[in-house]
Structure 1
Amino acid sequence: MFRHAQLESVKAWIGDPARAALPLHARIQRALRQLILDGAIAAGQPLPASRALARSLAVSRDTVEMAYGQLHAEGFIERRVGSGSFVSGQVQPRRGTRRAAPRNAPALSRRGNALFNAGGVRDFIAPRAFAPGLPETRNFPLQTWERLQRQVLKEHGSRALLHSPAQGMAALRQAIADYVNLERGAHATPERVLVLTSSQQALALCATVLLDPGERIFIEDPAYHGARRAFDAAGLESVPIAVDADGLRVDRLQAATPAARAVFLTPSHQFPTGATLSLERRLAIVEWARRHDAWIIEDDYDSEFHYAGKPTACVQGLDPHERTIYIGTFTKSLFPGLRIGYMVLPPALVAPMTMARTLLDGHSAPIPQLTLARFIEGGHFGAHVRAMRTLYGERRDLLARLVDDHLGDCLRPQVPAGGMQMPCLLVADLPEARAVDAARRAGIDLLGLGDLHAGPAQAPGFLMGFAAHAPDELERAVHGLAGVLRALRR
């Protein structure tokens, strides 16, 4: 018999706003099908006569007949002349399978477990107070970008809607090569540029294309967590090398045995300390890579933002042996939603890296690439970076003063020479992890320095982003953080 609960379930399907786009007979048909699949109407059980069900649902008999007809066509019910409609004996109900826990969890591959256990990379999506790595987007020249995009669509038409070459659009590769040669002292040609969606994708490619699971890679300690997790997920052995005021300790690198297959660096602004790798050490690392036939992975994530003098030439431009992979991104210098990064590769790696990239996401969208190329060629990128460099420098100085004035009993700012975030060391006896959690509950995002070390942090503290926050926002956030830390010290 068709029980009251079953009838109410069908009525709920009919009245559900989320299913309003479906024709009425389809909603009835799917409601009945679900009841059959869940075992609520057992095999061999009769369905109500179409006239009776139509009356109960306040619909026409033709509507119910259409629903029954579709169920019959799909094999869910049998229709017997003179007897009515019955649930087919061929249907195997799945009662309870949605809620029942599997006896054994599905097994992941070793790499799948490594990817899962690495924890991914947590982006600070909203520009909440002190979220590191976020640029100021409210000052971005949207009207200029929109005009350039219209030009792209007018010139390329429907061709801009097709796939990009896997290596990237030629115009953007040319613009990137010209830019890094001029501004970063690189040795780049368009043929050596690979356009990607992010620097994180570049790190994943390096981890899987250049090294085998189990091989060693030297990384800075502390280090960018996204790099460490990409290497861990690829099954590499990440060997930490200490950092001091001049960047990675080359003496430790040279003394480490056995030698690694690669070294990962953030030489312009070491993440998170902000140290700049000295020229002497850059040249020594280039020689180390030549001697050991190793790779240098250079992440130049925010070198555009330096606040005193000219930045040191990139390692790639100092390497005559073509052992350096240079990674750059426009996520920091322009806006996160752009999702365009790139690598400048040694010639021998262009084809392997491009082929590997096709197995990930194929290509980057052509319209943003072509728009960005015009943005760079027209001088708009350089003008925007110069304006943001001034703005960010002012915000850096303001944050340092605010921390000194209102958080001096808890934090000591380490004013960086460049970048978009400031490390602040804890001088009060406060657990770093508890402070990070308490701040997050108060709407403040801090990145704990302890999480960026391979071992215990010698100097616990926080990485505090300042680029995306106006002066009044920084001031309110510092007062808010002061309240959080005071409450923890009670």
Structure 2
Amino acid sequence: MFKHSQLESVKAWVAHPAHAAMPLHARIQRAIRQLIVDGALGPGKPLPASRALAKSLGVSRDTIEAAYAQLHAEGFIDRRVGSGSFVAEMTEFTPGRRLSQRDTLLRNQAPNLSKRGAAMFRSGGVREMLSPRPFAHGVPETRTFPLQLWERLERQVRKEVGVQTLLHGDPQGTEPLRRAIADYVNLERGARATADRVLVLTSSQQAMSLCANMLLDPGDRIFIEDPAYYGARKAFDAAGLECVPIRVDRQGLVIEQIMAEPGRAKAVFLTPSHQFPTGVTLALDRRLALIEWAARHQAWIIEDDYDSEFHYAGKPTACVQGLDPHDRTIYIGTFTKSLFPGLRIGYVVLPPQLVKPMTVARTLLDGHTAPMAQLTLARFMEGGHFGAHVRTMRGVYAERLDVLAGLASKHLSDFVEPRVPIGGLQMPCVLTGDLSERAAVDAARRVGIELLGLSALHAAGDAKAGFLMGFAAYTPLEIEVAVKKLANALRAVTKP
């Protein structure tokens, strides 16, 4: 018979809410197995008779017999006719041994990761809010997305393509979507793309990791904007690259340092259409100079065009890739910002010589992107719905930016100076008073408001303190309520 403590342990395991979904016999089997694994029941120890244990637990004998049968099948117990059930003798490997003090210490130590694994872990990853709240940056409006239209197109795909959508897809991406992407970036972004140069991925983050690992070796240098998108910096750091920060001014990346030391790095990372987080656009003469630098030194330009669809003043500047006759530019795009984050579709337009290597490399990561979503998106684009949706949201976001800028000037003028951008989904604000960035971000979070501090995006220590305020996903009324709540929170922490 079990000791009292062992019986109570089984009862507690069986009654725990976390195990409620398991059948009763499985809960009892797992509880007894845990006693064996933990060493509470050593090799050769007898188990209670099924009738007696059933009575103690208030269950049927058949339930106990089912639990014992599973333990026997897994090799944890021996069953002897006429003698009963016993913990199995496991000599070569005894999972039931008690952990020594040394074992416990080793278990609680940091994992023994590779250098690259340790760098990835230290970075903290790129975490997105599952349920965004004002003013989370980079989040599009999803509540008004034409979901019924999307579902109708998805049904058409299922009807016409059938079970093919349930099988493995082309690792480069479905041909209809690659063609639609090429047509779109050529028309709207001035790119030089063809369907056979497009690689469909799950995100722009995956694209940056691929570029970091396929184009550069650990220890290689890459020029990167300062301030820079945190996801890019983390991807490059994790790949073992040395990020060389280059200052950004009102005309984008300041290229003098690159031109003065042209061979210092093998690549440059840019967000030229709408620099993250400042919102400035890279001047044409600097774009052309970087293209010539890359061609002359056989370097790469990694161009992240993450939200250029949303430009509120005039026509957006053509992408760098479309200006590059030397095929040294990798153009990264995503539908996360223009449609909805749950779609998980991004893409790269590659120089011809990189298409096969990059496609092979992505098969080692996740094989391919889901065909159903790709084919539905292709129809959404081919039917003109993507362009119509972007145009609609561009007007909605422009209005919301105006509302936020006005409310920030009215209610937050004692604390920040808004820097109204000409595009994108977020507005930078620079702190003007004595309030620290950390105090502002913490005060906002306490009242349910999310701000991204600017200082952490800078490599240099002389960054101006401030934060980003995302506006795209929030209605004018939601923005007004949140701005007033933020103003009260900031006043509370600045009161003498």
Instruction: Tell me the TM-score normalized by structure 1.
Output: 0.95
Asked whether 1:31 is paired with 2:31, we answer yes
Aligned with 1:276 (options 277, 281, 290): 281
- The AA in structure 2 aligned to 1:469 is Y
The CA distance in 2 between the partners of 1:330 and 1:5, in whole Å, is 57
Greater CA deviation, 122-131 or 355-364?
122-131
- The AA in structure 2 aligned to 1:357 is R
SS at match of 1:327: strand
Asked whether 1:432 is paired with 2:425, we answer no
Aligned with 1:95 (options 94, 98, 104): 98
Ranges in structure 1 where 5+ consecutive residues have no aligned partner: none
Ranges in structure 2 where 5+ consecutive residues have no aligned partner: none
Asked whether 1:11 is paired with 2:11, we answer yes
Match of 2:479 in 1: 474
Match of 1:321 in 2: 326
Match of 1:355 in 2: 360
Match of 1:334 in 2: 339
- The AA in structure 2 aligned to 1:118 is S
Match of 1:442 in 2: 447
Greater CA deviation, 60-69 or 238-247?
60-69
Match of 1:456 in 2: 461
Match of 2:55 in 1: 55
Describe the shift of the 1:441–1:85 C-alpha distance in structure 2 as closer, same or farther (beyond 3 A). Answer: same
Match of 1:41 in 2: 41
Asked whether 1:301 is paired with 2:306, we answer yes
Greater CA deviation, 89-98 or 461-470?
89-98
Contact 2:451 2:469 in 1 (8 A): yes
Between the aligned residues of both structures, percent identity stands at 70
Describe the shift of the 1:351–1:97 C-alpha distance in structure 2 as closer, same or farther (beyond 3 A). Answer: farther
Match of 1:112 in 2: 117
CA shift for structure 1 position 15: 4.3
After TM superposition, list the pairs within 5 Å mapping 1:143-162 onto structure 2. 143-162=148-167
Contact 1:131 1:464 in 2 (8 A): yes
SS at match of 2:480: helix
The CA distance in 2 between the partners of 1:450 and 1:20, in whole Å, is 47
SS at match of 2:224: strand
Describe the shift of the 1:34–1:174 C-alpha distance in structure 2 as closer, same or farther (beyond 3 A). Answer: same
Across the aligned residues of Structure 1 and Structure 2, the Cα RMSD in angstroms comes to 2.1
Contact 2:338 2:390 in 1 (8 A): yes
Describe the shift of the 1:370–1:6 C-alpha distance in structure 2 as closer, same or farther (beyond 3 A). Answer: same
The CA distance in 2 between the partners of 1:395 and 1:66, in whole Å, is 62
Match of 2:141 in 1: 136
- The AA in structure 2 aligned to 1:11 is K
- The AA in structure 2 aligned to 1:170 is E
Contact 1:259 1:292 in 2 (8 A): no
Instruction: Tell me the TM-score normalized by structure 2.
Output: 0.94
Contact 1:430 1:489 in 2 (8 A): yes
After superposition, what is the alpha-carbon deviation per residue over 1:38-86, rounded to whole angstroms, capped at 9, x for unaligned?
Answer: 2222333333334433333344445544544554454434455665443
Match of 2:399 in 1: 394
The CA distance in 1 between the partners of 2:15 and 2:69, in whole Å, is 22
Match of 1:177 in 2: 182
CA shift for structure 1 position 342: 0.4
The CA distance in 2 between the partners of 1:26 and 1:72, in whole Å, is 13
The CA distance in 1 between the partners of 2:31 and 2:361, in whole Å, is 46
- The AA in structure 1 aligned to 2:3 is R
Contact 2:262 2:297 in 1 (8 A): no
The CA distance in 2 between the partners of 1:196 and 1:92, in whole Å, is 43
